[in-house]
Structure 1
Amino acid sequence: MNKQDYKIHIIGAGVSGLTAARVLEDNGCSPVIIEATDRVGGRVKTDIIDGYQLDHGFQVLLTAYPAAQKYLNLDALELQKFIPGATIFHNGKKKTIGDPLRNLSLLIPTLFSGIGTFSDKLKVLRLNRLLKKATLNEIFAKAEKTTFQYLLDFGFSKEMISQFFKPFFSGIFLEPELETSSRMFEFVYKMFGEGFATLPKAGIEAIPKQLKENLKQTTFQFNTKVKSVEDHKIFLADGTELESHFTIIATEPSVLVLNLKNRETKWKSCDTLYFETNNRIIDKPLIGLISDSDALINNIFYHTSLASKSVGKKELLSVTVVKEHGLSKEALIMRIQKELQQYCGLDSYTFIKHYCITQALPILDGLQYEIHPSETKLTTGIFLAGDMQLNGSLNGAMIAGERAALGILETISSSI
């Protein structure tokens, strides 16, 4: 039996499923991707509203991700770079800090920001050197502790942690107390140090769109919901039964496979709200951090500080909330509007859109950087992908998809 004759299905057209299809195509297979919605991307999506590009949540692509360099054409994405720093709002004042070694304009503001002691700044340099030398496999082999405990053990002052590390990494980890594994902190910190945080000119959904465009032998079935999966069989919600030699589940597997019912992934949630404003209170492409402990807002960003394909008439501001709040949509908007004025001095804006993202990042223990292809094999015919298999990142999603595809290819090779 030739490779192209195998019936291989991938459930989920997110970044992981699309990467799996790419690896299978590169090795002579012609997979079928089954997607419940009308487009690719999964959690990586962009809407166009009133001319503005609205990503589903504040997401960035780190150019140092090894899997991104392997599977994406970064030049074709027309990546727009963030400046490696942040504007911090604290006690009614606005201060900017960053990495002056990578952007000289940040030297004077950082030196005179008053954020962090001189000892903190030396520790940042030491952390940079430490992680530059460490390999990714070494980072993910270390014993885990919370990121908060890691920063304390490293010797950073509580002021440095509360005013910079907490608001910055809370926005990445989508939880306010930095309970996320120190492995993830070191990984993300290293990636920020070795590359740039970027956004594609057409928005974050340009990433899965590019992955889809590069597929030539893959068939897509959109608006198709899967009810359950068994070895060599897929049952669709409309009652259709599909024969499948191999199936990659690149979405939440517990709802599809009977013996995984008690292993449902737990998720972090967040809220992202978009506003139109007349002007920007942060001129450069810097993230704005709200470090006051009582604030519900975690970070703000002016997307119009970066070039975009679709352009609205004014300025586009996103607001990210990672704390649990229990507020209705209307109450949340009112609270955010009050805080924008209170903490940022912003009082002229128009609400555009609110995204309540209930499955933003998986909550995981024992984070891994990679996985052996054979470890993605659940049964003789079912393989698991998705970032929940490794770590919550675009890099993790791509590697998990790659390894699930390689798992199938190894199984086919051993049967020939």
Structure 2
Amino acid sequence: MKNSNYKIHIIGAGVSGLIAATVLEQNGFSPIIIEATDGVGGRVKTDIIEGYQLDHGFQVLLTAYPYAQKYLDLESLDLQKFVPGAAIYKNGKQILIGDPLRDVSLLFSTLFSGIGTFSDKLKILQLNHMLKKKTLSKIFSDKEQSTLSYLTDFGFSIEMINDFFKPFFSGIFLENKLETSSRMFEFVYKMFGEGYAALPKDGIEAIPKQLAQNLKHTTFKFNTKVTAVKDGEITLADNTKLESDFTILATDANDLIENLKNQALKWKSCDTLYFETENRTIRKPLIGLIPKEGTLINNIFYHTSLATSKKPNKELLSVTVIENQKVNNQELIDRVSEELKELCGISTCRFIKHYKIPMALPELADLRYEMSPSETRLTGGLFLAGDTQLNGSLNAAMLSGERAALGVIETISSNIS
């Protein structure tokens, strides 16, 4: 049978599904992607509202991700880089800290910031040096502990942990106790150190859109919901049954496969609120952190501190809330507005949009970096992809999509031989 004659379906047009299609195309196959919504991207989406680019949640691309370098044309994404540092709001003041080795303008503010001790600053140099030499496979094979205990064991002061590490990494891990695995901390910290955090000029959805535009032999079925999957057959919401030689599930498979239905995956949630402001209180493209206990706001960012394709008249501010304290939507907006004024001195705000994101990051234990193609195989013709297989990152989404496609290709090759 010619490769193009195999019926290979991919369920989900998120990043892992698009990478799976890319790898299948590279090997002469013509897959079909079935997507429940009207477009690609999955959790990686951007809306245009009132002339502003609003990403679904505050997301960034780390340019050092190995699989981003492998599968994305980073140059044509027109990446806008963040300054490597943060603006910390403490005791009514804004304090800038960062990596002066990468941005010399942050040298004096970092040295004299009052954030952390001199010993903490030496420890950061030590951590940078240690992780530069440590391979990704070593990071993910080392014993796991919580990020909080890791930082404590490393010798960082409580002040440094509370003022910088906790607010910064809570925004990445979407939990504010730093219970996330030390493997994830080391991985993310290493990626920040070896590249930049960046956003495409068109917003975060430019990433899946680029992947989709590069597909030449893939058929897309949008607005098509799958309700069940088994070897050889896919059932759609309208009870249509599709024959499938091989199926890659690049979405949460637990509701679709009979024997997985009691293994529901847990997800971390967050809220992202967008406001329009008259001016910026943070001039550089730096993330703003709120280390104060009990606040709703975890971090803020002026998206208009980076170049965007849309040219709005005013400034766009995003606010990330990790723990919404179970307040209703209007109360959340009101209290966030109060905190912006009280803690950050930002008073001229007009609310634009609130994104409630219940499935922002998978809650995973025993985090891994790598998997073999055969490990993605669930049954004879079913394969699993998605960051839920490894760790919650764009890199893991891409890697798992590649491995699932290679698993299908290996199975076909072994059947032929």
If the length of structure 1 is used for normalisation, what is the TM-score? 1.00
- The percentage of counterpart residues that share the same residue type is 69
- The answer for the alignment partner of 1:292 in structure 2 is 292
Question: Equivalent residue of 1:114, what SS?
Answer: coil
Q: How does 1:308-387 map to 2 (within 5 A)?
A: 308-387=308-387
Amino acid paired to 1:175: E
1:347 shift after superposition = 1.0
- The answer for the alignment partner of 1:180 in structure 2 is 180
Q: How does 1:169-208 map to 2 (within 5 A)?
A: 169-208=169-208
Count, aligned residues: 416
Verify the 8 A CA contact 1:87 1:96 in the aligned structure 2. yes
Q: How far does the alpha carbon of each residue in 1:301-346 deviate from its partner, in whole angstroms, 9 at most, with x for none? A: 0000000001222000000001141111101001101100110011
Verify the 8 A CA contact 2:271 2:324 in the aligned structure 1. no
Structure 2: give runs of 5+ residues left out of the alignment. Answer: none
Amino acid paired to 1:98: G
Verify the 8 A CA contact 1:21 1:218 in the aligned structure 2. yes
Question: Equivalent residue of 2:108, what SS?
Answer: helix
Amino acid paired to 1:104: V
If the length of structure 2 is used for normalisation, what is the TM-score? 0.99
Question: Equivalent residue of 1:169, what SS?
Answer: helix
Query: How many angstroms apart in 1 are the aligned matches of 2:277 and 2:404?
Result: 45
Amino acid paired to 1:150: Y
- The answer for the alignment partner of 1:138 in structure 2 is 138
Q: How far does the alpha carbon of each residue in 1:128-177 deviate from its partner, in whole angstroms, 9 at most, with x for none? A: 01000000000000000000010000000000000000000000001111
Q: How far does the alpha carbon of each residue in 1:59-113 deviate from its partner, in whole angstroms, 9 at most, with x for none? A: 0000000000000000000000000000000121110000000000000100010
Larger displacement relative to structure 2 (310-319 or 13-22): 310-319
Question: Equivalent residue of 2:132, what SS?
Answer: helix
**Does residue 57 of the first structure (1) align with residue 35 of the second (2)?**
no
Query: How many angstroms apart in 1 are the aligned matches of 2:162 and 2:409?
Result: 48
Amino acid paired to 1:197: A
- The answer for the alignment partner of 1:19 in structure 2 is 19
- The answer for the alignment partner of 2:42 in structure 1 is 42
Query: How many angstroms apart in 1 are the aligned matches of 2:407 and 2:190?
Result: 29
Verify the 8 A CA contact 1:290 1:297 in the aligned structure 2. yes
Structure 1: give runs of 5+ residues left out of the alignment. Answer: none
Question: Equivalent residue of 1:141, what SS?
Answer: coil
**Does residue 272 of the first structure (1) align with residue 234 of the second (2)?**
no
Q: How far does the alpha carbon of each residue in 1:377-400 deviate from its partner, in whole angstroms, 9 at most, with x for none? A: 000010000100011000000000
Q: How does 1:191-270 map to 2 (within 5 A)?
A: 191-270=191-270
Query: How many angstroms apart in 1 are the aligned matches of 2:289 and 2:251?
Result: 32
Verify the 8 A CA contact 1:53 1:311 in the aligned structure 2. no
Query: How many angstroms apart in 2 are the aligned matches of 1:396 and 1:90?
Result: 35
Query: How many angstroms apart in 2 are the aligned matches of 1:391 and 1:346?
Result: 36
Question: Equivalent residue of 2:140, what SS?
Answer: helix
Verify the 8 A CA contact 1:91 1:292 in the aligned structure 2. no
Residues 334 and 324 (structure 1), Cα distance of their counterparts in 2 relative to 1, 3 Å cut: closer
- The answer for the alignment partner of 2:101 in structure 1 is 101
Verify the 8 A CA contact 2:92 2:344 in the aligned structure 1. yes
Query: How many angstroms apart in 2 are the aligned matches of 1:294 and 1:262?
Result: 35
Amino acid paired to 1:369: Y
Query: How many angstroms apart in 1 are the aligned matches of 2:18 and 2:83?
Result: 30
Amino acid paired to 1:293: E
Question: Equivalent residue of 2:331, what SS?
Answer: helix
- The answer for the alignment partner of 1:8 in structure 2 is 8
Query: How many angstroms apart in 2 are the aligned matches of 1:65 and 1:295?
Result: 32
Query: How many angstroms apart in 1 are the aligned matches of 2:153 and 2:359?
Result: 31
Question: Equivalent residue of 1:357, what SS?
Answer: strand
Amino acid paired to 1:24: L
- The answer for the alignment partner of 1:114 in structure 2 is 114
- The answer for the alignment partner of 2:283 in structure 1 is 283
Query: How many angstroms apart in 1 are the aligned matches of 2:232 and 2:91?
Result: 60
Verify the 8 A CA contact 2:88 2:290 in the aligned structure 1. yes
Verify the 8 A CA contact 2:146 2:182 in the aligned structure 1. yes
- The answer for the alignment partner of 1:166 in structure 2 is 166
Amino acid paired to 1:182: S
Larger displacement relative to structure 2 (307-316 or 208-217): 307-316
Query: How many angstroms apart in 2 are the aligned matches of 1:147 and 1:266?
Result: 20
Amino acid paired to 1:211: L
Amino acid paired to 1:171: G
Query: How many angstroms apart in 2 are the aligned matches of 1:115 and 1:284?
Result: 19
Query: How many angstroms apart in 1 are the aligned matches of 2:324 and 2:351?
Result: 21
Q: How far does the alpha carbon of each residue in 1:203-224 deviate from its partner, in whole angstroms, 9 at most, with x for none? A: 0000000000000000000000
Verify the 8 A CA contact 1:11 1:250 in the aligned structure 2. yes
Verify the 8 A CA contact 2:324 2:332 in the aligned structure 1. no
1:294 shift after superposition = 2.1
Amino acid paired to 1:8: I
Q: Which runs of 4+ in 1 moved over 6 A?
A: none
Amino acid paired to 2:175: E
Larger displacement relative to structure 2 (318-327 or 178-187): 318-327
Cα RMSD, aligned residues only: 0.5
- The answer for the alignment partner of 1:87 in structure 2 is 87
Query: How many angstroms apart in 1 are the aligned matches of 2:324 and 2:233?
Result: 40
Query: How many angstroms apart in 1 are the aligned matches of 2:350 and 2:100?
Result: 35
Verify the 8 A CA contact 2:171 2:320 in the aligned structure 1. yes
Amino acid paired to 2:184: M
- The answer for the alignment partner of 1:68 in structure 2 is 68
